[in-house]
């Protein structure tokens, strides 16, 4: 593109074309429009064909209000008692920490091997495809698959959560690694440094802040997943208590307390994440 500097001072002339266009047809504008319109049409179609099982919406909303009222305004520990709920909560937190550690360790190794600027293209592409497939399977299904192999329980839950974590973190970390300036890697390569030396002396210090960021994001996701797996795969923890209270004994007061406990934990996790991120960003 050239700046036509000479014409700056020229006297202005009115253009002779009567109709002045404000923009041309561009692929990006058209694409945005097409995608939005299609999604809205699909939404319209789905909503008008939605199966409501003959439920009276007004009636159901009224019931929902009662339930929410019981949950959020009159929470209590129910028949299980607070100590049991706290223990279950602790187990879920531990579960999410453990699976995040597994995810972070393996995720980093795979990310190094999958990053385009570090390894050969075939190995990288292979790992990326496998990880995409693993990520495509929902965590809950991973947990159920593992419970076929090693029985319903904690081990299946940990493996299920770990699998998804590894796949997720591999992608996140390798995107951070691929963002590194190539000169940094080359300058160590020319000193004759070994591959893993480069990784831990150049790559690691550069991405540590975003590594920590992503890991804590995953910790929050894993806590949510630990609850889901506990509920839907009977893997114990606070998720299971939540499932029993809300779906079997219909004690919505207890459900409310459990939800409050869960929200409290997520706030604490978020708070810790922010603090640690700040610490690493300020160094």
Report the nearest approach of another protein to the CB of residue 211 (Å): 12
Q: How far is CA 274 from the centre of its chain?
A: 16
Token pair 């990326």 is found at 128
Considering the complex, state which of residue 123 and residue 136 has its C-beta at the smaller distance from another protein.
136
Residues in 97-126 that interact with another protein by CB under 8 A: 97-98, 101
Distance (Å, whole) CA 148 – CA 144? 7
As a residue count, the chain comes to 283
Distance (Å, whole) CA 190 – CA 226? 46
Considering the complex, state which of residue 21 and residue 120 has its C-beta at the smaller distance from another protein.
21
- Contact pattern from residue 250 through residue 269 relative to another protein, giving x for each residue in contact according to CB under 8 A and a dash for the rest: x-x--x--xx--xx--xx--
Residues in 7-36 that interact with another protein by CB under 8 A: 7-10, 12-15, 18, 20-24, 26-28, 31-32, 35-36
Residues in 121-160 that interact with another protein by CB under 8 A: 132-133, 135-141, 144-146, 148-150, 154-156, 158-159
Considering the complex, state which of residue 11 and residue 120 has its C-beta at the smaller distance from another protein.
11
- Contact pattern from residue 156 through residue 185 relative to another protein, giving x for each residue in contact according to CB under 8 A and a dash for the rest: x-xx--------------------------
Report the nearest approach of another protein to the CB of residue 56 (Å): 10
Distance (Å, whole) CA 97 – CA 94? 5
| Residue 272 in contact with another protein, rule: CB under 8 A | no
Token pair listed for 118: 């570090």
| Residue 53 in contact with another protein, rule: CB under 8 A | yes
Distance (Å, whole) CA 274 – CA 268? 10
Token pair 């945005």 is found at 32
- Please, which residues have CB within 8 angstroms of residue 196's CB and are 6 or more apart in sequence? none
Distance (Å, whole) CA 147 – CA 272? 32
Residues in 186-205 that interact with another protein by CB under 8 A: none
């Amino acid at each position: 593109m050239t700046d036509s500097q000479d014409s700056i001072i020229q006297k202005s002339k009115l253009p002779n074309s009567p109709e002045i266009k404000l923009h041309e047809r561009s692929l990006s504008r058209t694409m945005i429009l097409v995608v939005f319109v299609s999604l809205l049409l699909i939404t319209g179609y789905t909503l008008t064909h939605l199966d409501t099982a003959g439920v009276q919406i007004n009636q159901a909303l009224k019931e929902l209000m009662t339930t929410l009222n019981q949950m959020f305004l009159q929470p209590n520990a129910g028949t299980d008692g607070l100590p049991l709920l706290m223990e279950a909560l602790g187990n879920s937190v531990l579960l999410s920490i453990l699976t995040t550690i597994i995810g972070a360790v393996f995720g980093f190794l795979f990310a190094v091997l999958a990053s385009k600027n570090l390894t050969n293209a075939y190995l990288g592409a292979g790992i990326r495809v496998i990880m995409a497939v693993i990520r495509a399977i929902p965590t809950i299904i991973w947990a159920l698959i593992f419970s076929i192999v090693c029985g319903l329980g904690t081990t299946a839950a940990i493996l299920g959560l770990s699998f998804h974590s590894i796949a997720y973190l591999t992608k996140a970390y390798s995107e951070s690694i691929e963002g590194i300036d190539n000169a940094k890697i080359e300058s160590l390569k020319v000193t004759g440094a070994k591959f893993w030396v480069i990784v831990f002396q150049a790559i690691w210090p550069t991405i540590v802040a975003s590594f920590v960021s992503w890991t804590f994001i995953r910790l929050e996701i894993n806590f949510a997943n630990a609850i889901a797996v506990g509920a839907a795969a009977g893997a114990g923890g606070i998720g299971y208590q939540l499932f029993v209270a809300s779906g079997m004994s219909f004690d919505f007061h207890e459900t409310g307390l459990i939800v409050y406990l869960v929200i409290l934990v997520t706030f604490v996790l978020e708070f810790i994440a922010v603090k640690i991120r700040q610490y690493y960003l300020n160094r």
